Structure 1
Amino acid sequence: MSSAARAFFVFGDSLVDNGNNNYLATTARADQPPYGIDTPNRRPTGRFSNGKNVPDIVSEYLGAEPTLPYLSPELQGEKLMVGANFASAGIGILNDTGIQFANIIRITKQMHYFEQYQQRLSSLVGPEKTQRLVNEALVLITLGGNDFVNNYYLVPYSVRSREFSLPDYVRYLISEYKKVLSRLYELGSRRVLVTGVGPLGCVPAELALRSTTGACDPELMRVPDLYNPQMIELLSQLNAELGSEVFVAVNAFKMHMDFISNPEAFGFVTSKVACCGQGPFNGIGLCTMLSNVCPNRDIYAFWDAFHPTERANRIIVSQFMTGSNEYMNPMNLSTILAMDART
């Protein structure tokens, strides 16, 4: 790996977790086959995928090796220079999201680990070098989906759904997210990709629960409609306050909807049925050794009830790189890398 490759830090949930939960006593983990079936040694890695997830593919574009999970004993010495992945399956913006999974690394704890990481790196290369590495790093944060599927909509009358109407809940989440993003900035992050929520009503898990025809669930589709515009507004507001394009909005909704609404155009046979699972749309329960598993993962958009296949992840990251303003706002990752290479 060239030492010139910039460091990469990842925060968030199972869409970007690359194995932290393997080190925790929790049910939210992907450490059993058939997870990882398309990795070189066909072994599960803790990623909720048949192969690589979004951060892995971003690392490829950065010309870097994949970041290690923060809890991995291998993350030391030289490896610290690559960055770290703090993400943990099941978490949300709110600390009460995912309580059913016990022991997961809530976002406040992920920030705490990021501070700890900086102290560890500092004792290795000194505070100035550490600060430069952190300021120049690329950061990806993926949060929010679980605040709906594993909190607000988890049971018919969840505590949060009794407390808030959906529009009020979204406003509350955005106000809490502002604190998280401001903290990231305080901790030195200067280039942060922030993903909006995807089409929650279209994932196989929700189709299995809420749809007989395979049409996306309209109630859950209210979520991205309400949440994403407010998130974009929040990022513009933060950038204006900071006088710099620190936060970049990633339109995960559109990136997913492209292949969900027209799977054939992307070479998928289905965007409704998960490759691994059971029940309607293979959307019920976890993906395990006992599940149905499709023989060819490349023709499925979804690997399990919630997570895209490696091939779908590659389509998503290609939009990170070269997508128009509709996908990446105010600019895509290729533009960011070109700009930052000049400065």
Structure 2
Amino acid sequence: MASSLFIINISYLVVLVSLATLSRHCDAARAFFVFGDSLVDNGNNNFLMTTARADSLPYGIDYPGHRPTGRFSNGLNIPDIISEHIGAEPTLPYLSPELQGEKLLVGANFASAGVGVLNDTGIQFVNIIRIGDQLRYFQQYQQRLSGLIGQDQATQRVNQALVLITLGGNDFVNNYYLVPYSFRSRQFALPDYVNYVIFEYKKVLARLYELGARRVIVTGTGPMGCVPAELALRSRDGNCDTELMRAASLFNPQLVQIINELNSEVGSDVFVSANTYQMHFDYLNNPQAFGFVSTKVACCGQGPYNGIGLCTPASNVCPDRNTYAFWDPFHPTEKANRIIVSQIFSGTTDYMHPMNLSTILAVDEMKN
């Protein structure tokens, strides 16, 4: 009888300790959720049968442990660096078997390389997590979180979380402009296509709000015509491709417009626009000011501008990644990612509207 009571008391203590640990985690750094494409994918595609992967060296050459993780970077990507700024550990890919128990409290990364706003974007990659599926996984995540800490706590944690979404670029480079006379380019003139993508994107953002997101950083597209892949395919003189630059110039202002509309509809500054076009263009236009030697040639690749094909163990790899703006034909180096996040965190309203991340953190701290 005494031994039975002892076992019961020990079990009770274990439960109390577990609850106390979860409580401390709930009071720690806010949760962070990430949606979008390869610019923010932390490794979900590693768990899928797809060609859109970054699971072999030299990807991850500068990541802790010098190993590939599925990030399309030589090291940390934008979500990793944002996690540093908010005092949290990096989010795990939602498909990772490690994402369970207390790890759920950190948040989750639902992004998948190759996706766009539209379902037919990235079909050449076959098995990727399209944005509708990312949102369904977010619902599933919340059910799992409720099972861990209860529905009220889970709802509160989601409402207080920071959310990052990065979409749109693939709808142009891996859809409209993927091949000459693509289906979408025959269906729509460019301005009409942009209107269509924006219309669908607004529905995605509205759904995020319905699912409980209350602080959402929405990035625009970068200067798509300036990436090494497009220079290799489309440029004869090293200048950025005018058609892709035109697409960005049409898309980004309309994205800001729907963000303003949504905030007006919900009566709060839920959505924050990040002018990543200007963030990128600053260092592309004045590389020396940021310590870059090259902003046209990818660090890892082959062919003109190292922009042809994939970054593989057989590729050319630059010895000093900190002097290159682009890691592979499409993606920034960790150094460039840090420049972008520094503007997300403390940039003026020319970069972050209506407020930057440091202001978001300060305002929300006052509320809580």
TM-score normalised by structure 2 residue count: 0.93
Matches of 1:240 and 1:283 in 2, distance apart?
42
Which of 341, 346, 349 is the aligned partner of 1:317?
A: 341
Does 2:203 align with 1:179? yes
- The residue correspondences of 1:234-249 to structure 2 (distance < 5 A) are 234-249=258-273
CA offset at residue 40 of structure 1?
A: 2.2
* Cross-structure match for 2:304: 280
TM-score normalised by structure 1 residue count: 0.99
Unaligned runs of 5+ in 1: none
Matches of 2:135 and 2:63 in 1, distance apart?
30
CA offset at residue 213 of structure 1?
A: 1.5
CA deviations over 1:191-243 (Å, ceiling 9, x no partner): 00000111000000000001121111111100111001100000000000100
- The residue correspondences of 1:34-183 to structure 2 (distance < 5 A) are 34-183=58-207
Matches of 2:333 and 2:163 in 1, distance apart?
22
CA offset at residue 269 of structure 1?
A: 0.1
CA offset at residue 261 of structure 1?
A: 0.9
Does 2:366 align with 1:333? no
Which of 11, 33, 54 is the aligned partner of 1:30?
A: 54
| One-letter amino acid of the structure 1 residue matched with residue 179 of structure 2 | V
SS of aligned partner of 1:9: strand
Matches of 1:41 and 1:119 in 2, distance apart?
33
| One-letter amino acid of the structure 1 residue matched with residue 314 of structure 2 | L
Matches of 1:206 and 1:182 in 2, distance apart?
32
Matches of 1:109 and 1:325 in 2, distance apart?
32
Matches of 1:223 and 1:16 in 2, distance apart?
21
Matches of 2:72 and 2:345 in 1, distance apart?
22
Q: Which moved more, 1:1-10 or 1:292-301?
A: 1-10
CA offset at residue 91 of structure 1?
A: 0.1
Matches of 1:315 and 1:54 in 2, distance apart?
10
Matches of 2:177 and 2:143 in 1, distance apart?
39
CA offset at residue 302 of structure 1?
A: 0.3
| One-letter amino acid of the structure 2 residue matched with residue 184 of structure 1 | L
Matches of 2:146 and 2:56 in 1, distance apart?
36
Matches of 1:39 and 1:314 in 2, distance apart?
14
Unaligned runs of 5+ in 2: 1-23
* Cross-structure match for 2:4: none
Matches of 2:64 and 2:89 in 1, distance apart?
15
Alignment: residue pair count? 343
CA deviations over 1:6-40 (Å, ceiling 9, x no partner): 00000000000000000000000000100000012
Does 2:277 align with 1:253? yes
Matches of 1:94 and 1:331 in 2, distance apart?
28
SS of aligned partner of 2:199: helix
SS of aligned partner of 1:10: strand
SS of aligned partner of 1:269: coil
* Cross-structure match for 1:7: 31
Runs of 4+ in 1 over 4 A off after TM superposition: none
Does 2:235 align with 1:211? yes
Pairwise CA RMSD: 0.8
Matches of 2:313 and 2:227 in 1, distance apart?
21
Matches of 2:53 and 2:149 in 1, distance apart?
33
Matches of 1:238 and 1:255 in 2, distance apart?
24
CA offset at residue 46 of structure 1?
A: 0.3
| One-letter amino acid of the structure 2 residue matched with residue 234 of structure 1 | I
SS of aligned partner of 1:115: helix
Matches of 2:179 and 2:262 in 1, distance apart?
34
Bigger Cα Rg: 2
SS of aligned partner of 1:290: coil
Matches of 2:92 and 2:356 in 1, distance apart?
24
SS of aligned partner of 1:140: strand
